[in-house]
Structure 1
């Protein structure tokens, strides 16, 4: 081969080798240096740690931050790498010094590793400390310097350096040893942590403490001599004690932490409020455990931003897993009790099927497979709609739902975000309004928050974001209720009688006006309370995760006191402004609450939603023909037409009247018929059969021996002194006075029940028995 050819070959091989070495250098550094699991952490809105748990590998290793606090930066560079900001990953001066020291000593006494090289060594965990490995670290350190700036390299080092035991990274060490963020550490604390990665086995609460103090104080002296602190600061830092024992990790948001497997959640929680509500929940829970009520949950939302300010999923007790304290109740479906009643009220106001003071029947009511009962087992005959909501009456609420329509109401509550109400209207039936569906505390509180936000006239409403299904910005138009109906609803539930200790709240200037509602599920299994102001929405659940009911546990008695204590921790504010543009005046009958008819003598002007202007006219006032002395009802058959007095009277149906007049002593029943008239001649319908209702299929109860028992049929008459005569299929059964109840044992099959009074007025129903 010629010399020229050899030169070309050598040149080609040199270029090729250079390219290979350059490519090796460029691609030697992995794209991801560290592939280690991190602790799950929850941080407050202002950066305070609320809760943390160890990483899956058993280490306390917090998610890396973007930067390192100034005090620790000064301490670690002074101690480990004083020319960190001047070299390119390898400190040649330190390397030359180390080589000289090692040759002089005949052994390795100095490694000359820069912080960049130490970062590389941490990423290659487990590699032996050989000369070859040191050369690799130098090469990779140079490559890392090309990829990252100095502050990024320092942040990588601080996030993965060992700090003794199972503590890895500056931030986790700061919380583990001092109970606060690294940015809040003093000079003495920062210096202590700076010396630990060099020999992390030094840290121990009972041994090597003096040696550790010497290393820390020596570093503080170097920091002072370098001009970073003055002599007084140095002296004070040297006086700081070493930590006696690890600080317990915060446990303020354990249930929010439970939603995460790894990573750091910068939450919207208010750390101070979260801590106070945790303490409140523990105190109430300790009290409630006397009645074997073990679990309690609270959530607080900001109406203006949609942010969650406090999230207490339960009262955490790591030593007691048997009572369900590890369960996050906030997203758990539970029976709704009565908390949906105000929403139904608002919906009926919106479409005109109810007005604020419109009367709804409150009498014994029987459906095909459902017989609602009021909590106190009594009836008022007829109750204004706003009082139905205020008093949470079951029977008129069921009648209201029947009037509004189950399908319509299902569509409404789903539009408000109740995702667990996901079955058909036929499945729920009319019991939907009394707790026949399951809801979550999250959805309940969010719904009241969204309604309050719309009433505030917020154009866009931010749904709470800890639940991915609700992480959205909602338009006010998406809330399926008008501002006028919402204002009337919140006004009604702001008058609900508060628990005993809150009974005189309106006399204290510091107290807040709150729209709130409680609920108690069947069997006293769930106690609910939810409330809202223009600024905050609060939801509370009390009960047992096991589903066990407890005597006397109600929303008013157990959840409401917690609700008002939580509101007591929140800043005060004004009440909702009346949305005049969404309301208009309407003339209503003062007695019935319906739109006034021509014959209604007493009227009021009330504000109603614009869509309700075409509502129902009062059906209870009618003109009655009376004798001149007003003692009898008459017709022209028994009284001269010129002498008849035509008087408007408020007349309820017989069953409603029977109960209504017990509560309203000013109620004036119809005068009796003139002795010369029969019921048929005077018109009207004085009898109402309460049970059985038309078309009902009755099943006779059985005794313990299996024998069929009697059914109790019930009727009412306008005249308290009337005598009623009972017949089944034209067979006379007997007569009743005053309380018109009759025990009957009908044969299987279809029957007709007929009730007749002494004036010939009658009422009949057809029913079946099996």
Structure 2
């Protein structure tokens, strides 16, 4: 008998072990149902910025943490012996069996929290005895595979909380507008009773039943010494949740950007680098400005604030009044690329900030760029041309620097959208002939500032050049009522640049400091232009107001070791030559190639009374034995001087030569258009007739008469303003200009059939 008893025990042990191994094997392969979750974004401090419903239309946040207070509420309400059973509570099952038998229907399931978790994961099937047995089996599998805390986490993030709200975190935001780790005992107790009967939560309905269940749980927590009497009394007085809150939607375009990122598809919850307070204020500011813009037919605006050092976004407003994300859209750059050309030319020894550059009517083939003001200065310092965003100097500089080289430079700044060759963009590239993304161009400005701060950067210009460029950009005249910004007690020094695209379709402003870079775009997403759309009146003031809500910023110290001291001509800004009468010292970026010396100052000869220019031969003929008077003069070419004198009254033009002087050079005449060996297309007008082109020239002497000849055929003469309209046939031509002193100038060009 003893041996038989031992055998039965052994067989039972083997059967039990086999059953356990079988169940354990099944448990190992068991995995919870993969619910579709909402995409949720938080700011860098964990504050909710926005969320979208899951693919099945539910508010369902993925969350692995369970607050300790909620854990105590749910266990006291649903399963007080949770930590002492193995998925099934025999006492609860027995009690449920008696109740169901007494009422002859299922009134209690006797389910543990683990069994409820199993039911949720199995899709909440219809309640039957067979289904209950299956849920018990799955509950045991869950207990084998997961820890008790993991089971609580699965339950809390998967249980229904009324309506289309799934999981504790979503419920906390929908009913209390706060994260689940910040609720009171009464609020946790309210949420704890909902999964049992989620239909209780309806604004204005079943509130009494919900209050009774919540208060009953609070009393139980007090009886079990989980809360004290004072907490109980205060909790019983708390109001129940009313109408569900709308979830925050502070960065909807950034949320959609994350959802669309294929590399992030496996995640649904994201802690971003955005700052909640800054994002909220940025939304407020751009909304207020947009109401003003909309009065003139400007419907959309967008902005981006990035951490200059890391280039991570800290505020992201993709658009106002449109779902189109303008931070990622490709739009004409306007004048935003000018600082990068400016700095590159300095680094290549092609320019000094003080150099005078030409600002005159210019034609390049059939392309005729114009300044936004439709005015010309003749010649202006390069740094002033940049801060005033003059177009003519910029296009002339790009022609000198080279379009292909400039495109290569921009790619090193991280601009990916300019992916065609030089012929595709041409000279208009510098004025907005190419499209950029706000995110990329903002980061390019941040890179320039990082280099100016001496930080590690991929920017292909030197430390000193970057600092110089940013310093020049900080001296621009600020818009409207911000012109007296230097008087502000807590002023921010900002390197900034505006840009308005052709046809007034896009208005830009980007500002950067060592801490923050702010980019603003204003316009219409559909691309329609508006004459009221200028960067100075829209994007610039909006950008400066965004900077006003940012913390105080700094400015990098000038890197003294990065510069060499040079002597320059005061009037031309070039390195001083032997004939420059006025000079001053300036700093040049160390290691950059030497620029050429001043080409505008030289010695001129005059009659003793300084009334006329002369040569030695002229003096011999009329002033026997006398030598001419000489003087060093700053003299611009005639086609530049004409415009320069209008802005600079102190400029002294050279007097004419003495009447008996015989001119035999070409220096008195300059042909501005066409350029030598240029190719010209004569357009066809709308009525089908052949159009015309306008030839342009200039003369040293304002009273000069110029005679025009093309291919040996006399065309006519001009005086004062030297422009001539002609309609040359396709083919090679020679334009010849002659003046009354005998000066001759020729220019060869080719007309291409349209």
Q: Same fold (TM over 0.5)?
A: yes
| Closer/same/farther in 2, CA of residues 548 and 202 from structure 1, 3 Å limit | same
Flag structure 1 segments of 5+ consecutive residues without an equivalent: 317-324, 460-475
When normalised by structure 2's length, the TM-score is 0.93
Partner of 2:21: 22
8 Å Cα contact 1:351-1:611 kept in structure 2: no
8 Å Cα contact 1:390-1:496 kept in structure 2: yes
Partner of 2:439: 442
| Residue in structure 1 matching 2:546, options 566, 590, 596 | 566
Flag structure 2 segments of 5+ consecutive residues without an equivalent: 260-264
After superposition, where does 1:200-349 map in structure 2 within 5 Å?
200-261=198-259, 263-316=268-321, 325-349=322-346
Partner of 2:43: 44
Q: Deviations over 1:673-709 (max 9, x none)?
A: 12332222xx570211223333344455556654445
Partner of 2:404: 407
Partner of 2:630: 646
8 Å Cα contact 1:69-1:182 kept in structure 2: yes
Within 2, Cα distance between the matches of 1:608 and 1:21? 82
Shift of 1:274: 0.7
Within 2, Cα distance between the matches of 1:582 and 1:720? 46
After superposition, where does 1:617-656 map in structure 2 within 5 Å?
617-639=597-619, 643-656=627-640
Within 1, Cα distance between the matches of 2:627 and 2:554? 59
After superposition, where does 1:48-87 map in structure 2 within 5 Å?
48-63=47-62, 65-87=63-85
Tell me, yes or no, if structure 1 residue 387 matches structure 2 residue 371: no
8 Å Cα contact 1:164-1:203 kept in structure 2: yes
8 Å Cα contact 1:353-1:612 kept in structure 2: no
Partner of 1:473: none
Partner of 1:176: 174
Q: Which range is displaced more, 444-453 or 734-743?
A: 734-743
| Residue in structure 2 matching 1:660, options 644, 654, 677 | 644
8 Å Cα contact 1:303-1:535 kept in structure 2: yes
Within 1, Cα distance between the matches of 2:122 and 2:108? 20
Q: Which range is displaced more, 88-97 or 221-230?
A: 88-97
Within 1, Cα distance between the matches of 2:373 and 2:225? 79
Partner of 1:734: 716
Shift of 1:75: 1.1
Partner of 1:454: 451
| Closer/same/farther in 2, CA of residues 642 and 186 from structure 1, 3 Å limit | farther
Shift of 1:106: 5.7
Partner of 1:541: 521
| Residue in structure 2 matching 1:556, options 528, 531, 536 | 536
Superposed CA RMSD: 2.5
Secondary structure of 1:421's aligned partner: coil
Tell me, yes or no, if structure 1 residue 670 matches structure 2 residue 654: yes
Shift of 1:548: 1.0
Secondary structure of 1:555's aligned partner: coil
Partner of 1:321: none
Within 1, Cα distance between the matches of 2:686 and 2:72? 86
Partner of 1:582: 562
Shift of 1:295: 1.4
Q: Deviations over 1:317-375 (max 9, x none)?
A: xxxxxxxx111111111111110001110111111111101122222222224221111
Q: Deviations over 1:168-213 (max 9, x none)?
A: 1000111111111111212111110000011111111122110111
| Closer/same/farther in 2, CA of residues 12 and 245 from structure 1, 3 Å limit | closer
Partner of 1:530: 510
After superposition, where does 1:605-616 map in structure 2 within 5 Å?
605-616=585-596
Partner of 1:512: 492
| Closer/same/farther in 2, CA of residues 458 and 9 from structure 1, 3 Å limit | same
Shift of 1:225: 2.1
Within 2, Cα distance between the matches of 1:68 and 1:211? 26
Shift of 1:117: 2.0
Tell me, yes or no, if structure 1 residue 756 matches structure 2 residue 738: yes
Secondary structure of 1:423's aligned partner: coil
8 Å Cα contact 2:92-2:110 kept in structure 1: yes
Q: Deviations over 1:602-633 (max 9, x none)?
A: 22222222233412221111121223332222
Within 1, Cα distance between the matches of 2:724 and 2:313? 58
| Closer/same/farther in 2, CA of residues 132 and 702 from structure 1, 3 Å limit | closer
Partner of 1:694: 676
Secondary structure of 2:718's aligned partner: strand
Within 1, Cα distance between the matches of 2:693 and 2:326? 43
